[in-house]
Amino acid sequence: MLKKIVVFGLSSALVGGLLLGSDAFSYLRTFGGQVREVVKSEISVEFELDRIRDEVDNLVPEIRRHMTIVAEQSVDVKDLERDLTDKEGTLGKQKDAILALRSDLESGNSSFTYRAVSYSRGEVEADLAHRFESFCSVEEAVKRDRQILTAQRDTLRANQKKLDTLLSRKQDLVVKVAQLEARLKQVQAAEAINSIEIDDSQLAHVEKMIKDMNHALDVRQSVLETEGTVFGGIPVNEEDAPTTGDIVGEIDSHFGLKSDDSVAEVGTQPSI
C-alpha cells in the first residue's frame, strides 16, 4: 500500500509540473500534506512501537560519547591534582630554603659554610635572589594550575550531571516503552478475544441433539417400566404387594353380624 502511494505521488508530481506550471508547487504542497496523513494512517501501532524502541536504542551511542568525555575529564582532573600536589611540595621545600638563607644573612656574617663549602655573603645573596625568583615563578604556575583545576572540576561536575540526566531519562524511556508493550499486548489479547466468532446455528444444532438424546432415553426408560407392569414383575415394595383380607370378617362387617350369629337369625335362609 505504501509503495503504491509513493509511486502515485511521484507520478502526480511529474504530471502536475507539466500541466500546472507555476501553480504546481502549491498543489504539490497540499497533496504532500494529504499523502503524509495517508501514510501515517497506514502505519500500524506495532510498527510505531518498533520505531520508538529503535530511537531509544539510538541514544546509546550518544550516551557512550558523553561517558567517554566524562571519563577523560576525570582522568585529566586526577593528573592535574597529582601534578599540583608535586609542585606544591617542591614549592614548600623552596620556601624553607629561602627562609633559611634569609635567616643566615640576618646574622651579619661575611661568609657562610654549607656542607663544608664556604660561601661569601655576596654569593649567598645572589643564590637567595635566584631561589626567590624561581620560587615566584613556580608559585604563579601553581596558582594557574589551581584555577585550571577549579575550572576542570566545574566542567566535570556539569558533564557528570548531564550524563546522569541522560541516563535517567533513557531509563524512563525504557520503562515507558515497556509499559507501551504491555498495553499493546493487552489490546491485542482483547482484540483476539473479540474477533472470535461462534456459529449460533451450530450451537442450536448441538442443543437439539442433546434434547433429542434426552427424549430417546426417556422413551426407552418408559418402555422398560411398561414391560415390568405387563409381565407381572414381582413387587418389591411392601406397599405394592396385594393384601389378602378375611372375607368372613368383611361379610360380617357388611351385614352387621357378630361372629357367633348365624345367617338364619338375620334373614331368610337363601335358597340354593
Per-residue pLDDT tens digits of the chain, which is 272 residues long: 445 544 555 555 555 555 555 555 565 566 555 545 555 556 788 888 888 888 888 888 989 999 999 999 999 999 999 999 999 999 999 999 999 999 999 988 989 999 999 999 999 999 999 999 999 999 999 999 999 999 999 999 999 999 999 999 999 999 998 998 898 888 888 888 887 776 678 778 788 888 888 888 888 888 887 776 655 555 555 555 555 557 777 777 777 776 555 544 544 554 44
The Cα–Cα gap between 157 and 150 comes to 11
Q: Give the chain's largest Cα–Cα span.
A: 196
pLDDT of residue 155: 94
Say if residues 252 and 258 touch (Cβ distance below 8 Å). Answer: yes
Is the C-alpha dihedral spanning 78, 82, 87, 92 positive or negative? positive
With b for 16 or more beta-carbon neighbours within 10 A and e for fewer, the 158-191 pattern comes to ebeeebeeeeeebeeeeeebeeeeeeeeeeeeee
Task: Provide CB contacts within 8 A for 31, sequence distance 6+.
Answer: 9, 12, 13, 16
pLDDT of residue 28: 57
CA distances for 119 relative to 116, 124, 130, angstroms: 10, 7, 15
With b for 16 or more beta-carbon neighbours within 10 A and e for fewer, the 124-150 pattern comes to beeebeebbeebeebeeebeebeeebe
Task: Provide CB contacts within 8 A for 122, sequence distance 6+.
Answer: none
Which helix (H) or strand (E) element contains residue 114?
A: strand 111-114
Say if residues 31 and 12 touch (Cβ distance below 8 Å). Answer: yes
pLDDT of residue 158: 95
pLDDT of residue 257: 74
Q: pTM for this structure?
A: 0.49
The Cα–Cα gap between 105 and 110 comes to 9
pLDDT of residue 101: 92
The Cα–Cα gap between 246 and 251 comes to 9
